[in-house]
Structures are given as structure tokens and as C-alpha cells.
A = this chain, B = another copy of it.
Amino acid sequence: MKTQPEFVPSGGITSPGGFLAGAVSAGIKYAPPRLDLGILLAEEDCRAAAVFTTNRIKAAPVLLNQRRLQGGRARAVVMNSGYANSCTGEPGMADAVAMAEIAAKHLKLVPEAVLVASTGVIGVRLPMERIGPAIPRVRPSREGGHDLARAIMTTDTVPKEVAVRSDGFTIGGMAKGSGMIHPNLATMLAFLTTDANVGADFLKKALRKAVDVSFNMVSIDGDNSTNDMVLIMASGQAGGSEITAGSRRGAAFQAALNAACIYMAREIARDGEGATKLIEVTVTGAGSLADARRVSRTVVGSALVKAAVYGSDPNWGRVVAAAGRSGAALAAEGLELSIGGVCLVRGGCPHPFDKGQVVRLLDGREVTITLNLNTGRAGATAWGCDLSPEYVTINSDYTT
């Protein structure tokens, strides 16, 4: 048995034992045959845990799931794209409850075992007259994972799927873009499944840890949504004794979960609206983990840094200025900065570099920026994308 996570080619949400998925075209907002409604179904009752948006304005599905996940168990998720069911008041909550009820009846489950996820335009009621009749047409199967990954896309240009194997278990996942807002919403949704026999408590803690080093380190445009949600369901079908925190198997599970989440987080960043490049910012030598995260997120989220990367401009001053305003403890004298491994700043002062070489590195599809604060030993990595004129076009073009 290996403890290093290994990626499964063409894997996805139904790769782990015990999970089925399916999707149909309900014509919710996008014209058929585009898939826009689907179900993730566990063959048996599952342990489940989720991390939700910290936005004070929470969409109806988020509020419903928070209640339903208090027992740490779930059986299915019914999901749609097109409309987010956010800022829709009590009627919106009734729609979310109705979606779950119709799905429960179709799947022969109790409604409380069904979760709901929606992504799309804010402030518009769900077209229940189209969603209701379409739910019973969804036929979850072992092969349906790829369809479901497509059904949750909005402005995403490609589906994001992953599966990793480690230590006798598999983790599968699918996600949709963060800060992808067209015409007026932002949602990052990620669903993970596993056949690992993980206890509910550890599952929750492991998910929180994995989200902290992956999805929480992605910044597309600084806007976080009313619908963001990362959910994991564990069937336990891989067998063996329960995996707990602090054990060797617990560490293997955490490592695999981190790998799956980081993979999806990078794919989300790479597919940011209008993005032409993935930006990876690694901060080392920070005084604390919080500082390392703060600096890496601030740099990767800086509009000026993003525009410079778009233009392949080695404007290191913008990186330094963003680090400086992040609130982290640092001093100009200590800074060391590289782009693609080439040192541009040492001891806080310009270091001679071959501009042509750095421009060529910035021309690549992945740009890595490394910043050593030299104030301690903590590090963190954040992901984002460049800022192109296309981003503005996408986000200002809305037919009213």
C-alpha cells in the first residue's frame, strides 16, 4: 500500500466506491442540451462534512445544508446551475426545500438526507416549474460523474474533476469556478467523495485543513460568493478500521485530500474569467502561517500584479508593495523575490537580472512568484490568474 497520493487518470466524483451521479438538461437558464441539473447519490447513508461561505449573505441552499449537516450525515445532493437561489427570501428557502423533497421522493429517501446546491444569477427565483419535472429524469450511475461536473459549470470553460488513490482508498472530486460571475454571481462549489472509512469528526477537521491550503488560497477577483460550499461524503466502502486523526492512515488521508483539493483549486485559478495564465505565489520565511497566507493571497489578488503578469511585465515593485500592505510583519531590508526562479530582489534592493529571460518566463502559461520575507519559518502558497481586458468584458456584458 502506498501512502503517497496517486492521481487516477480521467477520475472524478464517482471514482470512489459507493457513489453514483447523473445530470439532465432542464433548460433552467441555458438552452438545452446544456446540462444544468443533477444529483450526486451515495448508495448508502454516508458521513458528510462541509465548509461554507463566510459571506454574511448566505443563499438558501447554504442555510438549508448547514441545518441538515448538523448530524454529520447525508445521502444525496441535488444541484443546479443558472440561478443561485440567493437573496430570494423565504420563497427561495421554500424552493430549496422543495428541490430536496422532489429529489428525495425520486430516490426513495427521507428529505432530510438530501442536500441542495445552486449556482448562477443572484436575486432571481428558481424556475421550479422546469426544475421539478426534470429532477425525476436524473438517473444516477457509476458513469455519470463527468456529466454532473458539466452540469454545475457557469462561466467555467472546462469541467474540473480529480481522483486520487492512496493507502487503499480513493478520493474523487469535482468543482466549479470561483469568482466566475456571469452575469451576476460568484460561486465556488466543490464536491468530494471517498470510500475511506473516516469518522465524522476527523472528516470535518480534515476537510477544513484541506480547504485552508487549497480553495481558501485561491483568489480570482477578491469577491466571495453567497453560495460557496465544499462538501465531502465518505461511504466507508474501502473497509478497514476507522481512520482517525493522529494516525499514519489519518496522515495519508489528509495528504490525499489536500492533493485533491489543491489540484482543483489550481484548476479553478487557471480557468478564472478571462485568464490566460495561472499565477502561483509562494511565500517563505514568514513569521507566522497567518502572515504567510496573508502575503501570498494579497500578492496573488493584487489587480496591479495580475495586470503586470498579463502583460509579461517584471514589475516586481507591485509585488513588494502588495506584500507591504498585506498587514503581515515584514521589513523591506529582508525581502527576496524571484519570478520563475530568477532572483529580482535581494535584501530589499533591486538585484540585476536578465529582463529578456524574465519576460519569457512571464510569457508562460504558469507563472511562479516566490517571496522570502526572512522574518521566520512559515510558508504558504496561493493561486490566482492574470487580469486581462477580457475579464472586464465578461463582467460588464450583461443584456438587461
Contact = CB atoms under 8 A, between A and B. Distances in A.
Interface stretch (A2-10, A18-26, A246-254, A301-309): A301-309
A222 interface: yes
Contacts of A226: 320-321, 324
Interface in A147-196: 179, 181, 183-186
Interface stretch (A259-267, A278-286, A329-337): A329-337
Nearest to A88: B349
A324 B222 contact: no
Contacts of A368: none
Contacts of A318: 122, 181, 184-186, 223
Interface stretch (A70-78, A135-143, A206-214, A390-398): A390-398
Interface string A303-330: 1100110111111111011111110111
B347 A89 contact: yes
Interface stretch (A35-43, A54-62, A95-103, A110-118): A54-62
Contacts of A328: 56
Interface string A353-364: 001000100000
B330 A56 contact: yes
A395 B302 CA distance: 12
A87 interface: yes
A287 to B, nearest CB: 12
A317 B121 contact: yes
Contact of A324 (B57, B324, B335): B57
Contacts of A321: 55, 57, 86, 122, 185-186, 223-226
A231 interface: no
A133 interface: no
A290 interface: no
A198 B304 CA distance: 39
A359 B303 contact: no
A389 interface: yes
Interface in A366-400: 387-389, 391-393, 395-398, 400
Which DSSP category, helix, strand, loop or mixed, fits chain A's interface? loop
A350 interface: yes
B395 A89 contact: no
Contacts of A271: none
Contact of A345 (B123, B302, B349): B123
B331 A400 contact: no
Given A184-B318, A389-B389, A396-B308, A222 B223 contact: no
A17 to B, nearest CB: 38
A199 interface: no
Contacts of A221: 303-304
A324 B396 contact: no
Nearest to A349: B89
A127 interface: no
A-B complex: 8 closest residue pairs judged by Cβ atoms: A311-B396, A122-B317, A57-B324, A307-B395, A389-B389, A184-B315, A55-B324, A313-B398
15 contacts: A55-B321, A56-B326, A56-B329, A57-B330, A86-B321, A89-B332, A122-B320, A185-B317, A223-B304, A307-B391, A310-B396, A311-B396, A313-B396, A359-B400, A387-B392
Given A56-B330, A87-B317, A314-B400, 16 more contacts: A56-B324, A58-B324, A58-B332, A87-B348, A89-B348, A123-B345, A183-B315, A184-B304, A186-B321, A222-B302, A223-B304, A223-B321, A303-B391, A312-B400, A387-B395, A392-B392
